[in-house]
Structure 1
Amino acid sequence: MTSIARTFALSLGVAATTIFLIMLGIFISRYPTQEREFRACRVVAAILDRAAVIEGKSLTIRSTSALEELKADSPNLWYVVSSGDLVSEYGSERRPALPFAFPYHGPVGSSVFDTLDQTSTFCLAAVQRGSLQLAMMVGQHQVRFGRIARNLLFRNAFSIALVALAFAVTVAIGSALAARFVSRGIERVTRRALAIDPSAPQGSISLSGVPFELKPLVEALNRAFGEIDAYIRMQRRFLGNAAHQLRTPLTLLRAKIEDVPDPALKVELVRDVRRLTSLVSAMLDLARLQNHAIEKRPIDLAEIALDVLADFSPSALDAGIELALEQAGKGPIPVQGVDAAVRSALANLVGNALIHAHGARRIVATLGHGSISIYDDGAGLPQGTEHKLLEPFQTGNSTGDGSGLGLSIVREIMAAHGGELVISSAPGCGTTMSLRFPEAAATTGSPHLDRRVEASFRHSGFDADASSPR
């Protein structure tokens, strides 16, 4: 996209150049009459000088294109050209009485004089040709404006160039300052837009200090922000209300399932209701997190990790998978957060590794400064699926188990805490999922990976909520 400042500077430069040329044309066209006659005299003298040929005792005015053009434009043209005693005359019948005799032996130069009857003017010019002097008297000449302008520009080229350079420098400085002013105005609006807190209700850009030209744009952006904010809040309210309303009939349905006489059907119904209950709970948690309804307090990440691993120990033992906890040092690892939310996030990651890490024999939780990583030595993530599975209702289980909200909730939990979910994986080399809080100095990854696919909490992952404790 074209730069506004560059376009503005270019447009101003073109406009200024046009104005300069127009002013120059007006200046030439409105030249004082006497000065214009003097310029015309110089042009005519130059034409005759180039046409005059002196050969021995002969003075000839040869026909040139410029002279023929002058004769065509001046039907009453007359001139007398002399050099010493040699004289060549044209239009003598139209020549009035002159105050100078032939041949002319005055000083070199050119000027405009009145005829003796004071009814017209004529041009007198004398030029030096070696040892000879060529004198010219011309009257009733009509010189085209273009020739006068070219003569003026040629004779004053240096002065005009200096004026044009000064004008160009002034325009360039003005363009740069104006472009900088426009850029700074846009930068101020951009900084105010970036300063809007996404969690604040009805976030908008303040109009105070905004340049007048940008106010319509800012007002349009504020309207758009308001409509987007209202739509998001409506969606969140709908999600939360739906989850709340569904819990009661699910509880009643679970109670009625106890009266089903067929054991096989009862087991199947219980499993379906459990999955539906898990989905509703996940939707409610997601709605709550998206509304940022959390109050962070100091919690011990090491204690939470130990409790979650202890909860999953029976499931890991039944699956033949070893659970391990590694910590660089001893003592608590404090972070700012909500205990229940962090436990839910970590349980999602551990349950995800137990259920979906195909071929895994070992799951290791590694504690670092402000972070915890869950590594499994399973088959890893398939290529091309990383950017899909963190989205809601996207599951990496081909059997259809899970609601596809587990890692979405983990992502929202970490976003609400100001942290991120980082996933590193490679096919055949296992997967590492890390919860990194603002206190973390660096991302913890698995040393066993040949290739690392690092994704933030908004981009990749797969589902684990089917077996996560709520």
Structure 2
Amino acid sequence: MTSITRTLTISLSFSSAAIFIVMLCIVIWLSQKREGEHAICQTAAAILEDATTVGSGRPLTVRSTHKLDELKSISPDLWYVVSDGALANEFGNDRRPELPITLPYNGPFGFSTLSTLDQKSMFCLAVVRNGSDRLVIMIGNARIRFAQIARSFVLRGRLPISLAALAFALTVALGVLLSARFVSRSIARATELALAIDPAAPQGSIALDQVPIELRPLVQALNRSFDEIDAYIRMQRRFLGNAAHQLRTPLTVLRAKIEDVAEPAIRAELVRDVRRLASLVSAMLDLARLQNHAIEKQPFDLAIVTRDVLADLGPSALDAGIELSLEADEGIAIIQGVEAAIRSALSNLVGNALIHARGARHIVARLDAGSVSITDDGAGIYPDVRDKLLEPFQTGNCANDSAGLGLSIVQEIMAAHGGELIMTSAPGAGTSACLRFPEAAFAGRNEASFPGIDAT
């Protein structure tokens, strides 16, 4: 698609050129109307002057030119006398009336219209310089087309017309520059307003009074699209939340009925399946709640939460033969957020490491300024698999009892807190998942200790 600035420049250039030509034609027409015979006199005299040749020792000659032939063809009663003193050249002398002027004529230079001796007609007298010669031209019954007058007017006024055209072009160029700048700034302003709308909650709209009138139809279309997208997102979130709530009651009933199964092996398998389904439903509820931003932030100590999560998952790590440890500087890490949500995020990360870190023997929680990371020394994962794990219902190992919502929920939790989930991994080098919070929410560290967990 063509650039708006380029289109505007081309359009204004053609328009300004057409306007200048029309204005010039109007000026020539008004000049002709005002000057009348004087304008015809000047034009006809210029034609004859261009056709006249005066040579040393040679007779005065009026050559046949295109303009002179055109003048003769449209002026059937044309007559003229061209003289440079003693020499003269006449045309249509049988139609020439008696003149009040005799040759040679030594009057002043210039153009004038005079009456013939019989006072029945007018003729043009022009005294001009032709090199070193003094050329006297008398013309009668000349008819001039507007195009000839315009051409003569332009030739006589080349300098002022050129200056006027230059000034007009500069004015138009300045107007194009300012207009293009205004259009660009208006579009940039509308773009900034559109980018300011939260993609996760596009219920906002661009105020029409903040954009130019020309952009309002586009902005109205964008606002309508934002409303439709917001309605669709809300519908999906309601469906997810309602479905999860509706599934809780049947799961509770199903769990109670499983206890009546007599076969222990079958009962254990069913309990495991129900537990996995209940975990999925709980994860769906958490995801729906986070997507609706139903959170209320409060300050809490990230170090204490991390310690508690490691303590809660200690028995599972012991069963898996994996050592959990915490590395942190002495102090208190205060952040703003929902403690239960951050606890759930950390539990997800540690739980994923326990389940999916093949060959891992150590899982270390590192607490830094405004962030906490969970690192294992397992087999690691490939980059393409790592990126897929952040999508809902994607798991690194389908054989495990995982709903595939863990990392997606962690990502939603961090987005709701204004932070981010950063995963780094390489085959054979282990995996690290870091929860990084906004620096402004990190109040600092004061001297304290972490009882119950040995820092390494």
1:325 Cα offset (Å): 1.6
Residue number in structure 2 paired with 1:296: 297
Correspondence for 1:49? 49
Q: Would the alpha carbon gap of residues 258 and 368 (structure 1) be closer, same or farther in structure 2, given more than 3 Å must change?
A: same
- Cα deviation for residue 203 of structure 1 reads 2.9
Q: Residue 26 of structure 1 corresponds to which residue in structure 2?
A: 26
User: How much has 1:8 moved relative to structure 2?
Assistant: 4.3
For 1:298 and 1:150, the matched residues in 2 are separated by 86
What is the alpha-carbon distance in structure 1 between the residues aligned to residue 5 and residue 51 of structure 2? 55
The question of whether the paired residues in 1 share the 8 Å contact of 2:202 and 2:226 is answered with: no
Q: What is the correspondence of 1:25-424 to structure 2 with a 5 Å cutoff?
A: 25-33=25-33, 35=35, 37-55=37-55, 56-186=57-187, 189-194=190-195, 196=197, 202-208=203-209, 210-327=211-328, 329-399=329-399, 401-424=401-424
Deviation at 1:285, TM superposition (A): 0.6
Summarize the Cα distance change of 1:271–1:116 in structure 2 as closer, same or farther, 3 Å threshold: farther
Superposed CA RMSD: 3.0
Unaligned residue ranges in structure 1 (runs of 5+): 443-470
Q: Is the Cα contact below 8 Å between 1:199 and 1:292 reproduced in 2?
A: no
Of 297-306 and 114-123, deviating more is 114-123
Take 2:288 and 2:133, find their aligned partners in 1: how far apart are those partners? 106
Between the aligned partners of 2:120 and 2:359, the Cα distance in structure 1 is 117
Structure-2 separation of matches of 1:132 and 1:168: 40
For normalisation by structure 2, the TM-score amounts to 0.86
Match of 2:354, as an amino acid?
L
- CA 377–136 in structure 1, closer or farther in 2 if over 3 Å, else same: same
Q: Distance in 2 between matches of 1:275 and 1:420?
A: 27
Q: CA 1:63/1:5 → structure 2, altered by over 3 Å: closer, same or farther?
A: closer
Bigger CA drift: 234-243 or 262-271? Answer: 262-271
Matched-pair contact (CA < 8 Å) for 2:8–2:180: yes
Residue-pair matches, total:
441
Distance 1:330 1:274, change over 3 A: same
Contact persistence 1:260–1:266 (CA under 8 A): yes
Compare 285-294 and 266-275 and name the one that shifted more: 266-275
1: CA distance, partners of 2:117 / 2:427 = 110
After superposition, give the CA deviation of every residue in 1:305-344 in whole Å (9 maximum; x if it has no partner): 11222223333333333323211x2022111111111011
User: Is the CA contact (8 Å cut-off) linking 2:85 and 2:103 kept in structure 1?
Assistant: no
Identity %: 64
Q: CA offsets per residue over residues 196-239 of structure 1, 9 Å max, x none?
A: 56788953334445544444444443333333322222221111
SS in 1 for 2:105: coil
1:282 Cα deviation after fit: 0.8
Q: CA separation in 1, counterparts of 2:94 and 2:317?
A: 127
Amino acid at match of 2:343: R
Deviation at 1:19, TM superposition (A): 1.9
Check the 8 A contact 1:87/1:103 in 2, yes or no: no
Do the aligned residues in 2 keep the contact of 1:126 with 1:135 (CA within 8 Å)? yes
C-alpha deviation, 1:190, in angstroms: 4.7
Q: 1:117 to 1:267 in 2, by over 3 A?
A: farther
Q: Give the aligned partner of residue 445 of structure 1.
A: none
Q: Give TM-score, length-normalised by structure 1.
A: 0.83
Query: SS at 1:364's partner residue?
Result: strand
Instruction: For residues 406-426 of structure 1, give each alpha carbon's deviation from its aligned partner in whole angstroms, at most 9, with x where no partner exists.
Output: 111001111111111112233
Determine the structure 2 residue equivalent to 1:428. 428
Q: In structure 2, how many angstroms separate the alpha carbons of the residues matched to 1:419 and 1:130?
A: 89
**Shift in Å, 1:382:** 1.7
Task: Give the match's secondary structure for 2:31.
Answer: coil
Confirm or deny: 8 A CA contact 1:77 1:138 kept in the other structure: yes
Deviation, 1:36, is 5.4
Cα deviation, 1:266-293, whole Å, max 9, x if unaligned, reads 3332222222111111111100111111
Residues 335 and 439, structure 1, Cα contact 8 Å, conserved in 2: no
Q: Which amino acid aligns with 1:82?
A: S
Distance 2:367 2:2 in 1: 49
- SS of the equivalent of 2:313 reads helix
The one-letter amino acid of 2:290's match is: L
Of stretches 114-123 and 232-241 in structure 1, the one that deviates more from structure 2 is: 114-123
Distance 2:200 2:130 in 1: 91
Q: Distance in 2 between matches of 1:124 and 1:440?
A: 93
Cα offset, 1:371, TM superposition = 0.5
Equivalent position amino acid for 1:319 in 2: A
Q: Which moved more, 1:129-138 or 1:271-280?
A: 129-138
3-state DSSP of counterpart to 2:61: strand
Give the distance between the partners of 2:214 and 2:268, measured in 1 at CA: 68
Provide the rounded CA distance (Å) in 2 between the counterparts of 1:427 and 1:441: 34
The 1-side partners of 2:247 and 2:148 are apart by 93
Distance 1:34 1:412, change over 3 A: closer
Structure 2, unpaired ranges of 5+: 443-456
* 1:388 match: secondary structure: helix
Give per-residue Cα distances to partners, 1:239-272, cap 9 Å, x unaligned.
1111011011111112222222334333332222
In the aligned structure 2, how far is the partner of 1:6 from the partner of 1:415? 42
Please say if residues 123 and 141 of structure 2, whose CA atoms lie closer than 8 Å, have aligned partners that are also in contact: yes
Once residues 208 and 281 of structure 1 are traced to their aligned partners in structure 2, the CA distance between those partners, rounded to angstroms, is 45
After alignment, is 233-242 or 260-269 more displaced?
260-269
Distance 1:423 1:157, change over 3 A: farther
